[in-house]
Amino acid sequence: MSIKFAVLGAGRIGQVHARAVAAVEGATLVAVSDAVEAAARKVADSYGCDIRSIDAIAAASDVDAVIICTPTDTHADLIERFTKAGKAVFCEKPVDLDLARVRQALETVEAEGGTLMVGFNRRFDPDFMAMKAAIDGGRVGTVEMVTITSRDPGAPPIDYIKSSGGIFRDMTIHDFDMARWLLGEEVETVMAQASVLTDPEIGKAGDHDSVNVMLQTASGKHAIITNSRRATYGYDQRIEVLGSEGMVSAKNMAEANIELAGKDGFGTPPLLNFFMTRYVAAYANEIAAFVAAVADGAATPTTGHDGLMALALADAAVLSVKEGRAVRLSDVTG
């Protein structure tokens, strides 16, 4: 029996998820919705599904689950609405930029006994999964220190930045989730640094482009996150985990696995420089995991709580930069 899906929002990421639903066994794409007719049309034509309104999808008896890819400020409302309509919900991160609003939405999901998966795609990257499997298999002993390097090839448009909630909530949020996942223990304190080095316009917009964060858990484990909005050599996505018995690291992905040698030395191509290319397998795996969880009535591998915690860490980082101090997570979550 196939689970019937609707995709809400047919933008870039909506298209990625629509394709994933179409490709996964056990899932059928029934409908797509988008305020922009042409965007919806493109998905409908590519994967042979209906175009419907949000209202129609909420009311539809032939839709079991929805994938929310609409603008961030609609996420919490849609999560509540579709949970109440009895649909399983997959929502792109973040649930909301406001922690209280996130908490409220999660309470609604819980009250309704709903299913909510928040899209932290990186947990489904094959290399990061292999790394996690190595850790869980005891290959590095007890985890002590997680180091995450995450640099974008270039900054998004200033207009995007202005409504993004800031670099910690927009970009570092992925790394906060990875840190929690790999530490295997909740973070207790957060210290952060931030500056504007790549483009003064980002500073004028009230944001930063170069940040570092240190996290510490109650038992003393550490995570370090380093972010930049600029990396001329491509989309830099590296993680390493030091444990009592060793270390595991995941390497970057290049455009091609070739090497050129000449009088100036040896060269390899730049990194894949677009998140959808870099994480193409992760996006497909993520949707497959959601389908499997819904089909089995099982817990989703990432949850609304994960979304909440990552946002809380971002809020703590913002506060740490502002006040120049170590912020306890409890200062933020109350």
Query: 27-33 and 50-51 as β-strands: parallel, antiparallel, unpaired?
Result: parallel
Burial (0-12, 13-18, 19+ Cβ within 10 Å), 252:
middle
Binding mask 166-205 for a second copy (x = CB under 8 A): -----------------------x-x-x-xxxx-------
Of the candidate residues 83, 108, 147, 172, the single one contacting a second copy (CB under 8 A): 147
Report which of 138, 247, 133, 149 is spatially closest to residue 181, judged by C-alpha positions.
133
The DSSP secondary structure of 269-323, one letter per residue, reads: PPBP-SHHHHTHHHHHHHHHHHHHHHHHTPPPSS-HHHHHHHHHHHHHHHHHHHH
Q: Does 206 bind a second copy (CB under 8 A)?
A: no
* Subset of 303-332 contacting a second copy (CB under 8 A): 324-326
In whole angstroms, the minimum distance from the beta carbon of 105 to a second copy comes to 32
Cα(207)–Cα(226) distance, integer angstroms? 16
User: Which residues, in sequence order, are CB contacts of 261 under 8 Å at separation 6+?
Assistant: 267
The region of 89-97, 112-120, 267-275, 292-300 touching a second copy under the rule CB under 8 A is: 267-275
Q: Does 51 bind a second copy (CB under 8 A)?
A: no
Of the candidate residues 51, 56, 145, 276, the single one contacting a second copy (CB under 8 A): 145
Give Cα 25 to chain centroid, integer Å: 23
Q: Does 42 bind a second copy (CB under 8 A)?
A: no
* Subset of 109-128 contacting a second copy (CB under 8 A): 126-127
Q: Does 44 bind a second copy (CB under 8 A)?
A: no
Of the candidate residues 77, 112, 144, 201, the single one contacting a second copy (CB under 8 A): 144
Which residues contribute to the site for a second copy (CB under 8 A)?
Answer: 126-127, 130-131, 134, 139-140, 142, 144-145, 147, 149, 151, 189, 191, 193, 195-198, 210, 212, 214, 216, 220-222, 224, 226, 228, 230-233, 242, 244-270, 324-326
